[in-house]
Each structure stands twice: as structure tokens, then as C-alpha cells.
Amino acid sequence: MRILHTADWHLGKIVNGVHMTDDQAFILDEILQIIDSYQPDIMIIAGDLYDRSIPPKEAVELLSKVITNITVEKRLPLFAISGNHDSPDRLGFGTALFRSQELYMATKIEEALSPIALNEVDGKVEVYLIPYLEPSEVRQYFDDENIKTHQTAMEKIVETIHETKDKNARQIVVAHTFLAGGMETDSEDRLTMIGGTPYVNASIFEEFHYIALGHLHQPQKITQDYIRYSGSILKYSFSEANHQKSVAIVDIDKAGKCEIEKVPLKPIRDMRKIEGYFHDFLDGTTLKPTEDYLHIGLLDDGQLINPIGKLREYYPNILRLERVVKNKDQQTQDINMIRKKQKMSHLQLFQAFYEEMKGDTIPPKRNTYIEKVIDKLHQEERRK
Amino acid sequence: MRILHTADWHLGKIVNGVHMTDDQAFILDEILQIIDSYQPDIMIIAGDLYDRSIPPKEAVELLSKVITNITVEKRLPLFAISGNHDSPDRLGFGTALFRSQELYMATKIEEALSPIALNEVDGKVEVYLIPYLEPSEVRQYFDDENIKTHQTAMEKIVETIHETKDKNARQIVVAHTFLAGGMETDSEDRLTMIGGTPYVNASIFEEFHYIALGHLHQPQKITQDYIRYSGSILKYSFSEANHQKSVAIVDIDKAGKCEIEKVPLKPIRDMRKIEGYFHDFLDGTTLKPTEDYLHIGLLDDGQLINPIGKLREYYPNILRLERVVKNKDQQTQDINMIRKKQKMSHLQLFQAFYEEMKGDTIPPKRNTYIEKVIDKLHQEERRK
């Protein structure tokens, strides 16, 4: 049985003020061609189909067109879940109606626990679709006060699946979550940190046959070859400049063993960082004229007149232009401090703020209170 | 063949600050019961499913639940179009996928011209779904400069249908439009007035067998019994206080003749206007305590202390409270002027403003220009 695994489409994404819709339409067209070449038996999209709860109408139109092509024209069964960027209610519209066309879209916890059974020529396969869920939703559903973190929430779900699964079948699990050890970029949004960590241990998934993951934008396996992030379809920040984006083609044999091929995606416009001197850019020594999305670092020391205007004649899609000043200790320190803060959770940021204001660490009671407030705000934001 | 015809659900509607979702869920449940009692062969929703382009998530959830119940559980074929309040792109999501479940949702002009054919025991029926369209969209589609008004746009569509229809079949046409002679209320939004009028003549529909209309909120036939507005499912403004809301049950015989029954809808809370003296309200003489939505007019002359607070103890859902002052000439004149202005089109309002500012009527060239600007704004608003 052959699977095409992709994730993190982020339709409607705006990067540095630029709408990525054309780039997304181009790359999705490439995925349609990969379907034709590789002829998978099913396709998986592991969450974050949209970039936000209320996507722009162009994104809605594009998703509608692509999934219609896949399911109605190509007749390829499609399995998808909502990610932390999607609105479960909006993405969940009419999903019961989609099932007859073999489009299985899961956005609620109930749907995570009842698998879709596939009767393949080499035996039965069960697909479990676990959408992104807040720990509090899982706690409420199971009425279990011990569920406080993403780890305990996922443990409970996995445990329930193991109790009810068909032991003679192979299991494919689709999830949108942050596995410990995974490599992050600047474009995954922070997950809730209630309990102190957004991570889930990969080990809890080891007894399934393939785990199709979404959330992290870099294609990567975590601990096992069959526990895998397909990565996003495009580079969505300059921290992803060195990625090679791809989809995963997974062949599962009768015993449940997987062979995996990463099929590279070639964007219409690449996203990259490049440094050099102003005049070497202008005469094309450093870089030939290109429509790629660029983060240009200028090494020049002296004054430059209208550098962005002049560079745009050759490189129309410069998204960032910086003067690179080497060996300035204070600057480096400042940047390091900002980088450190960018990696802090909302709770950690508040703790640091409290310390700076009050000259003392936050007492446990207040800490618990602010933890709850952050959780509440986070959920409200997501539930829009 | 039996049809259940409804329209103008306006899910997500807020009336005087009150979300109508509970009232809408209640009345839709009543429609589900009417389906069970009357056992129609098909159901029609003639536009304005939502109240706005980006409906609140509660409205999305409610519509998803209801149409899933109708099509998946009751297996009743459902035909729907977008109205002037709906976003064609958002409502159009995944519609090609819905077709296998016999949910036919039309939001684009192309869809208006290709009918859905039904092979009933007593012969073939063609259903034409004409969503609400701006005259400019129709002009562009047919590349015909003569299409400038709603009338000429609809004429062109109807003409095209007559050319291509199966002359041995019966035709049902579903449309969201303002037929001349129809009775308006305060809650239908203004349609574009390019060319001076939002109206379409009912006569152009006379050669079809049943015309299921949406837009006007009062149940009514226009010129013929078979050219009919089902009306909205609820009263959405006090100008509708005297309506009896209903759905139409239509039996079409082999020859295409229609018999129509209006099945009344009973809301959980009625909406009504009532006048009386303060103390007659408080002691229940004028009106028994009720949760109905009320517009209360107080006839008292003297000072009253906190009337709204005291009245709310008996009538929690007062939406408007007014002092009714009889025989005040200036007041009456002012109100009449406001009412008159409320009925003016955007263009007429601008013309009046121009006259007031410049002391002269607007010259034709400027008039044409402002007409275009209004049209453009209107379309941008709708395309969100």
C-alpha cells in the first residue's frame, strides 16, 4: 500500500507582506503531478491546511479546487486533520457529506478515536485521524484531571486507540503535534505550554506502523524512520532557507514495514539568504537577477544611496535588506537576547517581565493564575 | 412530485444586539419535523443561508449540522443557491464533493445554466439554480454590453435557459432576486441600483413550472401562484411583526400544474410591537409576561423612573422602548423624512447630498461617475 504524506500547507499565508497564494497554487499543482507519477493508494494532509482561523477567500477557493481535483477527478481517498492554525468548526463544515467521496476530514476529538478501515489486497489497514487538540479539550472529554499537558493528553488518546484497535490490522496514525527532539523554525506558532512543555515523546507512537505528522516545517523523522514529519510545502520564513521541501511517499508492506522516499518540491520562487557587497549585487557577480524571495545582507561599511530601490530593479522580491556589521559585541549581544526571548513561552515571558518589574520571582499561586489566563486567551484566540 | 421551498435563513443574524442562533436552531428543527410529516421529494433553499460573507462559527456549525441531517440522515435531495448576503466563494467550498450526496449548491453563473435533471415516476424535471448575481458579472460572462440592470441580466439568463432546456421536461427555477411588485421589509439589504432599479419583472418567468424565490422576507406570490417567495424562517425586523412565516409545500403534477400549501412556522420567541400605558404593562393588563422580542411604545405623558429596568422584569427581551407622542407635527415630519431617506438608493442619497451642498442638480457626467463608484464599492463589499 502506497501513501502520499504532506502537511502544513498554510493556505492564505502572508510572508513579510507578500500573499503566497500564487506560490501555493503552483506547488499544489506539482503535488497533483506527483500523484499522477507515483499513483498512491491514499493521500494524507497532517494539519494546518489554512494559515488562520478565517482564511482569505482566495485560500478557500484554492483548497476547494485542489481537494475536488484529488477526490472527484483523481478518485484518490484523502485523509486530513485540522492543525493548530485551522478553525475546527470552519474546516469541519459538511465533513459528514464528504465521506461518501472518500474525503475524511477530522477536526474533533471523537473522530480521533474511531478509525477509518481500509480493506487492501494485502490485508486490513486502520487510519486514525488525531486533529490538533488543546490538553484542556482532552481533559474535558475523558473527564480526567490528570490530563494537563500535551504529553498526558496524547498518552490518553494513544492508550484508548490501543485498547480498541484491530490487532490483526496495520495502523496508520495522523497527528498534528510537536514531538520532542524535532527541529523547529520561526514559522510554527507557539503551542500552549500548560504544564511547562509543548512536547510529546515520540516513543508513545512506536507500536503503530506509520505516523504521519504535521506541525514542524522541516521534513524529518523522529527516532524512527516511520515516525515522520513531511514538512511544509513551501519555505514560510528565512529560518527555512536551507530546507529541501518534499512530500513523503511511503510504501507499507504486508507486515507493516515502511519504505520511504522523499520526493522534492520545486517552488516557482525560492526563498534564500545571501550576503555580499552592494556593487557585486548590481553587476550580478554575487547573484544573477532573480524573482526569488531574498533576504539580502550588505557587507558595505560606507553610505549607500537608495540601496533597496536600486537592488529591486534586479531582485524584485527582496523581503528583507540588512546591513551586516561584523564584530560589534553589543549588537551581537542584543540580537542574542532577542533571539532568546523569541524562544521563550508566553509564561516564561511573563515570568521575566514580573521579575523585572517586582525584583523578585513570581510566587507559585500567581504563577498558576497567569498560566490559566494564558491558556484561556490561547483557546479563545483559536476558537474564533 | 413534492417540493419543500424555504429561503432567507440568515444564519448568524444579530437583531438589535441579540444573536438569533438559538431561535434559528429551534425553527430549523421545526422544518426537519415538517420534512418528516410532509415527506417531500426535494428541498429548496433559495439563498441567504448566512447573514454575512464571514458568518460566526456558530452559524457555520448550525448549517453544517442541518444540511448533514437533511442529506445524509434523511436522504432528501437538497438544492440551494447563494443570496446577496452570502459569500459565493466561501459558501461554494467543496460543492462538487457534495453532489454525490445530492446536495446541489450553486454560487456561480456557470452553474445557473446547466440544470440538474431528475427522473421522477411521472416524467423528467429540470432544476435550474440561479444564485444572486451582480449585473456586471452577467455582462462579463456573456460579453454583452447591453446587460446593465438586474432586469437585462435575468432576461439573458432566462433566454439562454429557454434555448437549451428539454422541452419535454418540467422546469423548476430557483432564484434570489427582487421581483417588481413584491412587498419589502426593513431587513432585505439594498441591491445594486445601476440603471436605476433593482427590480426584475415576474413575467419573464411565466413559461417555467415553478419559480422558488428568495430575497423578500414576506411569504408571497408575484402575479402567478407558481412564482413565489417562501419568505424568511424568522421575523428579522419589527417591520415583519405582522408576518406569518411559513415554508411552501408544492405539489407539481404531471402537466406541471402546482398546488401550494403554506405550512406555518412557530418560533420559540415571537417578535411584536405593542403600545400601552406603563402601569398597564406592569400589572399585566396590556400584555402578560413573555420572553417574546418586543418593541414597546409607551403612551404616558409624564416622567417615568427607570421604565426599561422595571419592564425587563416582566419582558426580558425588549429590543426597543419608545415614548409614543401623538399629534406632534414636526416630529411626524422628521420621521417621515427619515423614512423617505431610508428608502432611497445610494445613488439617490448622493444626488440629494450633492443638491444640498451645491444648490444644483448633479450633471450627467458626474452622475455616471458616482454610479460606477457605488457599484465598485458594493461589489468589493460583497466579494470579501
Which residues in A lie closer than 8 A to residue B72 (C-beta atoms)?
96-97
| Cα–Cα dist B179/B158, whole Å | 14
What is the model's pLDDT at position B186? 81
Give me Rg for the CA atoms of chain A.
Answer: 23
Dihedral sign from CA coordinates of B169, B172, B178, B183:
positive
What is the model's pLDDT at position A196? 64
Using CB atoms, pick whichever of A57, A71, A95 lies closest to residue B90.
A57
Task: Identify from B11, B50, B53, B57 which residue to disrupt to test chain A contact, counting A C-beta atoms within 10 A and taking the largest count.
Answer: B57
What is the model's pLDDT at position A345? 80
What is the model's pLDDT at position A74? 96
What is the model's pLDDT at position B382? 72
Residue B270 has pLDDT above 90, yes or no: yes
Which residues in B lie closer than 8 A to residue A82 (C-beta atoms)?
none
Q: Are B281 and B312 in contact (CB under 8 A)?
A: no
CA distance B377 to chain A (A): 18
Residue A302 has pLDDT above 90, yes or no: no
Q: Give, in order, the Cα–Cα distances in Å from A341 to each of A195, A247, A379, B196, B223.
A: 19, 32, 22, 60, 71
- Interchain CB contact of B255 with A (< 8 Å): no
Task: At B21, list the grid cell.
Answer: 442562533
Task: Identify from B90, B379, B384 which residue to disrupt to test chain A contact, counting A C-beta atoms within 10 A and taking the largest count.
Answer: B90
Report the mean per-residue pLDDT for chain A. 91
Dihedral sign from CA coordinates of B2, B113, B89, B345:
negative
Task: Identify from A70, A90, A384 which residue to disrupt to test chain B contact, counting B C-beta atoms within 10 A and taking the largest count.
Answer: A90
Q: Do B94 and A61 touch (CB under 8 A)?
A: no
Q: Are B263 and B3 in contact (CB under 8 A)?
A: no
**pLDDT tens-digit map of A187-237:** 777 776 655 678 999 999 999 999 999 999 999 999 999 999 999 999 999
Task: At A85, list the grid cell.
Answer: 492554525
**pLDDT tens-digit map of A186-197:** 877 777 665 567
Question: Which helix H or strand E contains A322, and what residues bound it?
Answer: strand A318-323
CA distance A62 to chain B (A): 9
For helices A135-142 and A150-164, the axis angle rounded to 10 degrees is 50
| Cα–Cα dist B180/B198, whole Å | 9
Q: Going by C-beta distance under 8 Å and a sequence separation of 6 or more, which residues neighbour residue B31?
A: B4, B6, B233, B247, B265
Which residues in B lie closer than 8 A to residue A90 (C-beta atoms)?
57, 60
**pLDDT tens-digit map of A237-284:** 999 999 999 999 999 999 999 999 999 999 999 999 999 999 999 999
Give me Rg for the CA atoms of chain B.
Answer: 23
Q: Going by C-beta distance under 8 Å and a sequence separation of 6 or more, which residues neighbour residue B11?
A: B21, B24, B49, B50, B51, B55, B59, B62, B63
- Per-residue HEC secondary structure of A253-318 comes to CCCCCEEEEEEECCCCCCEEEEEECHHHHHCCCCCCCCCCEEEEEECCCCCCCCHHHHHHCCCCCE
| Cα–Cα dist A320/A302, whole Å | 19
What is the interface size between A and B, counted as CB pairs within 8 Å?
A: 67
- Interchain CB contact of B380 with A (< 8 Å): no
| Cα–Cα dist A16/A305, whole Å | 23
For helices A346-358 and A364-382, the axis angle rounded to 10 degrees is 140
Residue B72 has pLDDT above 70, yes or no: yes
- Name the residue with cell 424562517: B233
Average pLDDT over residues B270-287: 94
- Interchain CB contact of B195 with A (< 8 Å): no
Within chain B, strands assigned E span 2-6, 14-15, 18-19, 42-45, 78-81, 103-106, 116-120, 123-130, 170-176, 210-214, 220-222, 224-229, 246-252, 258-264, 271-276, 293-298, 318-323
CB-CB neighbours of A22 under 10 Å: 13
Which residues in B lie closer than 8 A to residue A91 (C-beta atoms)?
none
DSSP string, B333-372: HHHHHHHHHHTS-HHHHHHHHHHHHHSSPPPHHHHHHHHH
Which residues in A lie closer than 8 A to residue B56 (C-beta atoms)?
none
- Interchain CB contact of B379 with A (< 8 Å): no
- Interchain CB contact of A60 with B (< 8 Å): yes
Q: Do A94 and B57 touch (CB under 8 A)?
A: no
| Cα–Cα dist A256/A275, whole Å | 47
Q: Going by C-beta distance under 8 Å and a sequence separation of 6 or more, which residues neighbour residue B225?
A: B258, B260
Q: Do A57 and B89 touch (CB under 8 A)?
A: yes
Which residues in B lie closer than 8 A to residue A103 (C-beta atoms)?
94, 97
Q: Do A57 and B100 touch (CB under 8 A)?
A: no
Q: Do A96 and B72 touch (CB under 8 A)?
A: yes
**pLDDT tens-digit map of B7-61:** 999 999 999 889 999 999 999 999 999 999 999 999 999 999 999 999 999 999 9
Question: Band of the pLDDT at A147, cuts 50, 70, 90?
Answer: very high
Q: Do A68 and B96 touch (CB under 8 A)?
A: yes
What is the model's pLDDT at position B377? 84
Average pLDDT over residues A336-358: 79
What is the model's pLDDT at position A263? 98
Task: At A35, list the grid cell.
Answer: 500523484
What length does chain A have? Answer: 384
- Name the residue with cell 403534477: B253
Q: Give, in order, the Cα–Cα distances in Å from A292 to each of A29, A312, A316, A318, B310.
A: 19, 11, 8, 8, 68
- Please work out, in degrees rounded to the nearest 5, the angle formed at the alpha carbon of residue A316 by the alpha carbons of A312 and A320: 75
| Cα–Cα dist A235/A233, whole Å | 7
- Interchain CB contact of B130 with A (< 8 Å): no
**pLDDT tens-digit map of B311-362:** 999 999 999 999 887 655 666 666 677 777 667 788 888 888 888 777 788 8
What is the model's pLDDT at position A186? 81
**pLDDT tens-digit map of A84-94:** 999 999 999 98
Residue A183 has pLDDT above 70, yes or no: yes
Residue A81 has pLDDT above 70, yes or no: yes
CA distance B330 to chain A (A): 47
What is the model's pLDDT at position A374? 86
